[in-house]
Structure 1
């Protein structure tokens, strides 16, 4: 009876050691991934900012082109 009791205690110790190893592994993976995630977020924020600026430039060009087209079409009728 004592042997099973000792064996059960040993198994619990092994489980705790294994659990600690798993937690340590997961924390190390998390610490390794965090800088990459941060750089990825910064990259996509910068990319979004650039595309929003380009979208604004395209809108300005479209407005000016449309105004110029209407002025060329309407100019002969007004004169």
Structure 2
């Protein structure tokens, strides 16, 4: 006899989906892109408050633009 737990979110008869069990490559890439985006944005802010050269601003801006472009592209391709 199976006891019914009112606080259990799933039933005991279902089998877990083995294909979604682990971390997928797409999740890792998206997390890495967000991390690089945040780091480059913070780097650009630090360069703005400090006396950094134009090359530092351009490098941080280019990395930020590339990350945003990659994230938007991945999002739009994932919707199809």
Q: TM-score range by the shorter chain?
A: 0.3 to 0.5
Larger radius of gyration: 1
TM-score (norm 1): 0.40
Greater relative contact order (CA < 8 Å, ≥ 6 in sequence): 2
